[in-house]
Amino acid sequence: MWIKNLRESFSFRVFRSFSISIMILSAIFALFFVYYQKSRVKENLVKEGKALSALLAYGSKTAVFAENRTLLRDAARAVLKQKNVLAVQVLTADRRVLFDEEKRSFSGNTEEFTSMVSGVELPVVSESADAIEIVSPVTLMLHAAPPELLYFEDTPPVRKESVIGFVRVVMDKKALGSETATILVRSAMIAAIFLFMGAIIIFFAIRRVTLPLTRLTDAVKSLGMGESVGKVPVETHDEVGRLAEAFNAMSENLREREKEKKSLEEKLRLARTMEAIGTLARGIAHDFNNILSTVEGSVYMLERKLYDNSPLRDYTRRVNMSVTKAKGLIQSLLTFSRTQTTILHPTEINTLIRKMKPLLANILGEDVRLELSLSESEMVIKADPVQIEQVIMNLCVNARDAMPGGGRLSMESASVIIEDKEAADRQKGGRRKYVRVMISDSGRGMDEETRERMFEPFFTTKDSGRGNGLGLSIVYGIIEQHGGRIDVRSRSGEGTEFRIYLPLVEEKIVEST
């Protein structure tokens, strides 16, 4: 299986093609080299033979002229002793053999060669299966004119070169074969070295390309399986590098989308719960109020019939307390359900907060220091002022409950510019001005679970009777209704900071609220 995978892999195919190309190139080079070297060796052999035969022809002039075999022998044997010489013959012009010796027998015919020799345009080279034969003439310079003319004529005497014999040197072609074999082995070695080095270079070159590709493939696979993928390294600026960059951008984008999807799902879940509770609340609140009114009226009638010091008054007081609590709960439910329908007016947020200051101080009590740091400039939002007051109040009540031993609550306002991602995606500019109201306390803070669930309706960490878990869900609903956003920063023991963002508008205030 892995062999099949290897065969089909890009790197293997490139490696194979390159190796085959290098092999072919090396083979062509080796063949050319062998051919070239072989002809050089042969040329050298012929040159050597020509030089030896010419040397012997020159050195044996007198011996041939005198047809003296003894005089000839030493020079001819000296030539025969040379490395590649196989046989040496010396003949007179009329083909009489003066010297004929050989190192070993060879296929050659003296008659044949000498019969070819005519004139002085020698040496003559001929080749048989195992030898190269070179025939050089032995020449002598003769005066063409009779000697007495030399004394009387001005013109220089005509000199004539005439052939008085032949020297035949036979060179061994075996040397050619063995030298060719050596060259062949050498060139094969060079080709192998080429192939080996080429393969190594190609291997590393391909690895440089395929390693990032393999990493990318693994990352794409992991991404496809929904696993979290880190950034793949971008090592080059070529096509592979650009591919890695594009992949990183894509996975970053996917991560962002995943985050957005999760937050949207969470918002949707909360919105559905609120919607359902709102519908339920609207449905039962009025009927329930009527029932409570009946109970309240009946208790009132009962109280009128009781003596002032009747022990039963304790029971009617408890019933009244419970009715008040139930009415408070119904009020919260009605407020909550009212967030579904809102009428908005231009409202200056700083004025609204300033007006609330005495009420807030009252709610917070003496042990909590209230610090306001509001913007001097006018900041108008489109809002239902009663609902915004409700938001601020709910947050302050929670802050107070988080600081039983007292503490500090600060409220700040400022205008900020926020990148609106969705608008940016739709290419609508994407930047908007918002009012940011920060309400922070030095209370006990929230742990992770509370932070995650605090906006859920009926989620509370307070004792029964103190909290109904509707405060923050009302806040959330109102802020959403106003096209705003609410963020929380809180940790156990480190206080809590709520940041409310509401869109700023250009409109002027018509009437003060």
CA distances to 3, 349, 393, 438 from 343, rounded to whole Å, are 73, 16, 20, 24
Give the span between the Cα atoms of 25 and 449, in whole angstroms.
72
Residues in contact with ligand ADP, shown as a per-residue x/- string from 455 to 474 under the rule CB under 6 A: ----xxxx----xxxxxxx-
Residues 386-415 close enough to bind ligand ADP by CB under 6 A: 394, 398-399, 402
Residue 460 C-beta: closest distance to ligand ADP, Å: 3
Query: Is the Cβ of residue 52 or residue 470 nearer to ligand ADP in the bound state?
Result: 470
Nearest to 388 by CA among 414, 417, 350, 421: 350
Enclosing H/E stretch for 420 = none
To ligand ADP, the closest distance from the beta carbon of 328 in angstroms equals 11
Residue 428 is encoded by which pair of tokens? 């609508």
CA distances in angstroms from 407 to 371, 394, 496, listed in the order given: 11, 17, 12
Q: Which of 87, 353, 435, 454 binds ligand ADP (CB under 6 A)?
A: 454
DSSP assignment of 293-334, as one string? HHHHHHHHHHHHHS-TT-TTHHHHHHHHHHHHHHHHHHHHHH
What is the number of the residue whose Cβ is closest to ligand ADP?
471
Side chain identity at 358, as an amino acid letter? P
| Smaller CB separation from ligand ADP, 345 or 453 | 453
Q: Which is nearer to ligand ADP, 346 or 467 (CB)?
A: 467
Measured at the alpha carbon of residue 433, what is the angle toward residues 427 and 434, in degrees to the nearest 5? 125
Please provide residue 333's backbone torsions phi and psi, each rounded to the nearest 5 degrees: -60, -40
Tell me how far, at minimum, the Cβ of 424 lies from ligand ADP, in Å.
32
Q: Please report which helix (H) or strand (E) contains residue 400, including its range.
A: helix 385-402
Please report how close the Cβ of residue 336 comes to ligand ADP at its closest, in angstroms. Answer: 11
Q: Which is nearer to ligand ADP, 448 or 507 (CB)?
A: 448
Nearer to ligand ADP, 12 or 459 (CB): 459
* Burial of 87 from C-beta contacts in 10 A (0-12 / 13-18 / 19+): buried
Q: Is 486 in the site for ligand ADP (CB under 6 A)?
A: no
Closest to ligand ADP by CB, 410 vs 450, is 450
Token digits of residue 226? 């929904």
Among 122, 446, 479, 486, contact with ligand ADP (rule: CB under 6 A): 446
| Count of positions on this chain that bind ligand ADP (CB under 6 A) | 23
Site string for ligand ADP, 289-308 (x = CB under 6 A): --------------------
- Minimum Å gap between C-beta 447 and ligand ADP is 9
Sites for ligand ADP among residues 78-107 (CB under 6 A): none
Q: Is 441 in the site for ligand ADP (CB under 6 A)?
A: yes
Least separation in angstroms between CB 485 and ligand ADP? 17
**Does residue 443 belong to the site contacting ligand ADP (CB under 6 A)?**
yes
How far apart are the C-alpha atoms of 242 and 236, rounded to whole Å? 8
- Going across the sheet that includes 431-441, the strands are 368-373, 407-419, 431-441, 496-503, 485-490
Nearer Cβ to ligand ADP, position 139 or 332?
A: 332
For residue 159, with 0-12 CB atoms within 10 Å meaning exposed, 13-18 middle and 19 or more buried, which class applies?
Answer: exposed
Of 6-14, 21-29, 146-154, 437-445: span binding ligand ADP (CB under 6 A): 437-445
Burial of 168 (0-12, 13-18, 19+ CB in 10 A): buried
Binding segment (CB under 6 A) for ligand ADP, from list 54-62, 147-155, 300-308, 442-450 = 442-450
* Shortest distance in whole angstroms from residue 451 CB to ligand ADP: 8
Residues that bind ligand ADP (CB under 6 A): 394, 398-399, 402, 441, 443-446, 450, 454, 459-462, 467-473, 496
